[in-house]
Structure 1
Amino acid sequence: MRARGGDLRAGRPHPRWVIKLGTGTLSTPEGELDLPQIRRLVEQVSALKGEGWEIVLVSSGAIGSGMGLLGYQRRPAAIEELQACAAVGQPQLMRLYEELFAECGYHVAQLLLTYLDLDSRTLYENARKTMEHLLSRKIFIPVINENDVVSYEEIKFGDNDRLSAHVASMVEADKLIILSNVPGLRERDDGGGRIIPLVEEITEEIEAMAGKTRSERSVGGMVTKIEAARIVGSAGIPMQIADGREKGVLRKIADGERVGTLFLASGQR
């Protein structure tokens, strides 16, 4: 992936965030899209946009949405079933985003990426230019998901954590925020112990605290979030993990409140 070239933050009047919304943050325990919860997140993003923030969303939820429509109670193992879920669920997810953001005066723009797109210099640059143009238009919010309908290996793991890190590096974000169904990195890999509020460096001890997800509708867990922190950290971008269902979570982060776990970038240590 392209290394971050220079620090553009000083020249921006407002911060640029990449916000990753995990499946557990967007869905009910039964796997249906959680409309009241998604509305709350949309309203928070829209409020920041109204203050000048530049926002790129990396949204999971397509497979989980498709699972409900196709009648799956558990995340299927077969690639073709996962891809079918994504094909059915992605339009429903985007239709909901468009309706909710339109109520707040904004429009969404869908970008579906694969890791092949990120590995190609030409495709990478095309995606970057497209997002820069959309962000410059102010009323558009890019919503990115992995193109699960054509992806193969990548669909099995990651839940967009690593994709969001590569997108944050691509657009030279000021911060990557991962909103999940966990409140942050905990001391124990079983989800117990206190939340670690600040990680200055990803050590073997920090990696040992990571645990895999236990959800039937999500993949990745803390392991891939730490991998994402490593990717953006090397590009000079901090990353914050927080509970997407905490009231006003994005406003709290914008106001500098201590929420979840903040991973510092290499240049901030």
Structure 2
Amino acid sequence: MSTRAAVADARLVVVKVGSSSLTTAEGGLDPARLDDLVDAIAGRRAAGSQVVLVSSGAIAAGLAPLGIARRPRDLATQQAAASVGQIVLGHAYVASFARHSLRVGQVLLTADDVVRRSHYRNAQRTLTRLLALGAVPVVNENDTVATDEIRFGDNDRLAALVAHLIGADALVLLSDVDALYDGDPRLGPARRITEVAGGSDVEGVRAGTSGASGLGTGGMASKLAAARLASAAGVPVLLAAATDAVNALGPAEVGTAFATAGRRLSSRRFWLAYAADSTGTLTLDDGAVAAVVRDRRSLLAAGITATTGDFVAGDVVELTDQSGNVIARGITNYDAPELPDLIGHQSHTLPTSRRREVIHADDLVPLAHH
């Protein structure tokens, strides 16, 4: 099945929309744009699919009511705008979806909710139950409490994480750009890329880091990163303009399609690979890199050449090769202070209590093929 057919036939779809696609140039919510998006989602629902909407726009929606002219740079004012804007945005969605007799449930997530395994499972259960009850979950980052240190950074990455979290069959990223280009089409000639089958198709793409309107935090760089993250984990992706939402959520004949690049990871392995925070690094010799990546074996102390970070047993750490490239992530069985006396030693030369694997194969996710 082609990627576009997979998106068109998906039973469970995550749709992400950016701030610039929901707001006016002055910064307030644009009811007509929001209604158009909701109409497209309602159409997909009527065709038999379940939809989760990941919506930006809370900060932008809070600016006008507070008399703020442009997106604030300081965190406190952003959070104040978000606290007003979440209600404005939520109310707008409730009213708009009500035109189709659909109920809405708001789900506000922080990065912590995805990073911590127990929170991850809880978010999963909440979203699954909302869908089972027939509601349309509207997900947003909880900007009112997120700090710079624990932000997703943009809702594109959040959407990719949510897509895997709930086992979505497709991810549709809607923005103010109609496709992926190899440069910024506003700055001169740029080649439109309609199909991405693998990493070589996006080599040389120069992607900007902020939206055209200045109202969002995304930009093409974050959309490209989110699309590659989702497709690498087995979720097909369509990137299209919000103004093409009806087609994007219908026959999917617009925008850029990203083919899946691998088997769908289990929820736990996806969390380990992409969502969890890492608290340290283990550097491996060439033999250990081959054992972990190619042979999918456990990591033993003998293959480690150095460690950095302050981690404890049960924490997620990154594994790097001798050049510093991250080749895997895993859950360590040791505290950081225990390892210096063990690294480089064969297991049979260690005390019996220290012969267990540093990271068991079941707790390891190779990343080299991404």
* Short-chain TM bin: 0.7 to 0.9
Equivalence for 2:137: 142
* Percent of matched pairs sharing the same residue: 40
Contact 1:54-1:135 within 8 A present in 2 as well: yes
Q: Does 1:202 pair with 2:199?
A: yes
What does the per-residue CA deviation read over 1:18-49, in whole Å, with 9 as the maximum and x for residues that have no partner?
00011011011111101011111111111111
Q: 1:206 to 1:155 in 2, by over 3 A?
A: farther
Distance apart, 1:200 and its partner CA: 1.3
Give the Å deviation of 1:251: 3.6
Map Cα deviations across residues 65-96 of structure 1 (whole Å, 9 max, x no partner): 11122222221110001001100100010001
Q: Does 1:217 align with 2:215?
A: yes
Map 1:1-269 to 2 at 5 A.
15-138=11-134, 140-153=135-148, 158-189=153-184, 191=186, 192=188, 193-203=190-200, 205-206=202-203, 208-213=205-210, 214-246=212-244, 249-257=245-253, 259-267=254-262
Shift >4 Å, 4+ stretches:
154-157
CA contact (8 A) 1:178 1:242 kept: yes
Q: Does 184-193 or 91-100 show the bigger shift?
A: 184-193
The structure having more radius of gyration, on CA atoms, is 2
Q: Tell me how far apart the structure 2 counterparts of residues 33 and 154 of structure 1 sit (CA, whole Å).
A: 28
Assess, with a 3 A threshold, how the Cα gap between structure 1 residues 252 and 117 changes in structure 2: closer, same or farther. Answer: closer
Q: What is the CA RMSD across the aligned residues, in angstroms? A: 2.1
Q: SS in structure 2 opposite 1:24? A: helix
Question: Which residue of 2 is the match for residue 7 of structure 1?
Answer: none
Secondary structure of the equivalent of 1:98? helix
| Helix, strand or coil at the partner of 1:40 | helix
Say if 2:182 and 2:192, in contact at 8 Å, map to a contact too: yes
SS at match of 1:82: helix
> Are 1:212 and 1:221, in contact at CA under 8 Å, matched by a contact in 2?
yes
Higher RCO (C-alpha 8 Å, min separation 6)? 1
The answer to whether the 8 A contact 1:238-1:263 is kept is: yes
> Number of aligned pairs?
253
C-alpha separation in 2, matches of 1:252 and 1:240 = 7
Distance 1:256 1:78 in 2: 39
- Shift of the alpha carbon at 1:60? 0.4
2:27 is aligned with what amino acid?
Answer: G
Cα distance 1:157–1:165, how it changes in 2: closer, same or farther (>3 A)? closer
SS of 1:44's equivalent in the other structure is helix
Give per-residue Cα distances to partners, 1:203-229, cap 9 Å, x unaligned: 495463312224321112011111101
> Which amino acid letter does the alignment assign opposite residue 217 of structure 1?
L
1:93-118 Cα distance to aligned partner (Å, 9 max, x none): 00010011111010000100011010
The amino acid of 2:109's aligned partner reads L
Partner of 2:294: none
Name stretches of at least 5 consecutive residues in structure 2 with no aligned partner.
1-5, 264-370
Tell me the TM-score normalized by structure 2: 0.64
- Please say if residues 23 and 60 of structure 2, whose CA atoms lie closer than 8 Å, have aligned partners that are also in contact: yes
Give 5+ residue unaligned stretches, structure 1: 1-9
One-letter code aligned to 1:16? L
The SS at the match of 1:241 is strand
The DSSP-based 3-state class of the residue aligned with 1:129 is helix
Q: Is the 8 A contact 1:185 1:209 kept in 2?
A: no
Q: CA deviation at 1:240?
A: 1.2
Once the two structures are TM-superposed, the CA of residue 189 in structure 1 deviates from its matched residue by 3.7
